Amino acid sequence: MNSYSLSLPLQSPLLTSNNTFLLAGMVYFILKPLLPFLLLPVNHVPKNPFFPFFFREILLLTLLLCQEFISHSIEGIKNWSISMPQTHKSLKPMPSKKESNFDDIGLHETASGKMTVLDLPELPLDCILKKLSPSELCNMACVCRSLKERCRRDELWERHMREKWNRVIGEAARREWKLQVAERRDINIRGETGRVKWKVWMGRLACLWPLSWLKRKIESRRNGWRSSPPDSSLVSFYLALESGRFSFTAQVYNRENGHTGFFMSCYDAEISYNARTNKFFARYPPHGKRIPAIEEVPWERTRAPSVVTSANELHISDCLTDLRPGDHFEIQWRRSKEFPYGWWYGVIGHLEMCDRSDHRCCCDSSETIVLEFNHYPSGSRWRRKTINRKEHREDGDENYGFYGGIRKIQNKEEISKWMQFWPAQVL
């Protein structure tokens, strides 16, 4: 009898809440299908001089508020009915002294043994983050706000940028990225006034009534603005390169899939990364009226621009006095004045009257420099070219093309890179 009298008050609120929930649910499901039909006469309200011009908008807003009121009432009753059994289930009998001591010990052990990544000191946590790959850093940034800020620091992404992108990214690409960031910042500043007005208007309207769709829209915009990393950060630069959204100027060896007319050359191209194939889409500048097709090139055929000079400008040679027979070089060459320059590989040769002896060779003191392109046969007109050491600018004609600036190759890695593209047989 006593147990029945104690259990009755705990069950009666559940019965009342369930009945209320069913009644409100029936009202909601009866009225909800009728709301679209109630909107039809509102759209056809005749223009009457006795009603203000915004009378139709007021009716529409009233119907929307009614719908929101019904839906929020249903949700409130549902949440209240769910929370009631949880409250009653949480009422447990008082444990004995032995059980209480055991629970306290277990709770203490759990609380003392529980440790998260954020509880680590600064130095070990930074060491862990530095060991992560770019994809792992992006996943770690989604855990919480604190880790998101840590994983976006530039010092964590400098190594990834250096290891993957430094071989194709030059100063021109970095300047182009900074220009794009500056343009986006200007656009954001110009649009900030309208964005603030929109946020204020939507916020005031949401405060008048708890419109769920307005709140979701405001929160989604706020989360979108806060979640995206700043454009000036290295992680933004890395993700733009990785996704292929940012195309930049680089140089491609043996363009147009190794066409024989471009062997041992390197031309400027606008490239963008294709993560699906781990290659680049390369678009070359037009050669006169002919527009080259876009080709897909692997990493091995790409490099960062060797100089800051663009493909349409003459490179000022600063190494002519240092060139000796046997030195490796790159020289600008173009077929016509309308074409862009490409860089061609060659070796400094000896004069015809020189006996090629190390002790009696005087080619390094002569005003004439012999350029040799040994991948062409000995009788070819492209095999040798002589230039003036002191007065060389752009030299050539429409028959032999135009030779531009020269840069001396002193890095052994660059020389070995050129040797990878040496043709199997003489052209």
pLDDT digits (tens, 9 = 90+) for 113-164: 577 778 888 888 888 888 999 999 989 888 888 888 888 888 999 999 999 9
Integer Cα distance of 262 and 252 in angstroms: 11
Residue 90 scores a pLDDT above 50: no
Report pLDDT digits (tens) over 338-397.
Answer: 899 999 999 999 998 888 877 778 888 889 999 999 999 988 999 999 999 988 999 989
Integer Cα distance of 274 and 302 in angstroms: 14
Q: What is the pLDDT of residue 108?
A: 40
pLDDT over 90, % of the chain: 34
Integer Cα distance of 302 and 167 in angstroms: 8
Residue 210 scores a pLDDT above 50: no
Q: Where residue 199 falls among pLDDT bands split at 50, 70, 90?
A: low
What is the average pLDDT across 288-306?
86
Residue 193 scores a pLDDT above 60: no
**Where do the DSSP E strands lie in 161-287?**
248-253, 265-274, 279-283
The three-point CA angle 214-220-221 to 5° equals 95
In which residue are the tokens 């029945």 written? 4
Integer Cα distance of 347 and 156 in angstroms: 42
What is the average pLDDT across 231-238?
86
Backbone angles phi, psi at 284, to 5 degrees: -90, 155
Q: Where residue 98 falls among pLDDT bands split at 50, 70, 90?
A: very low
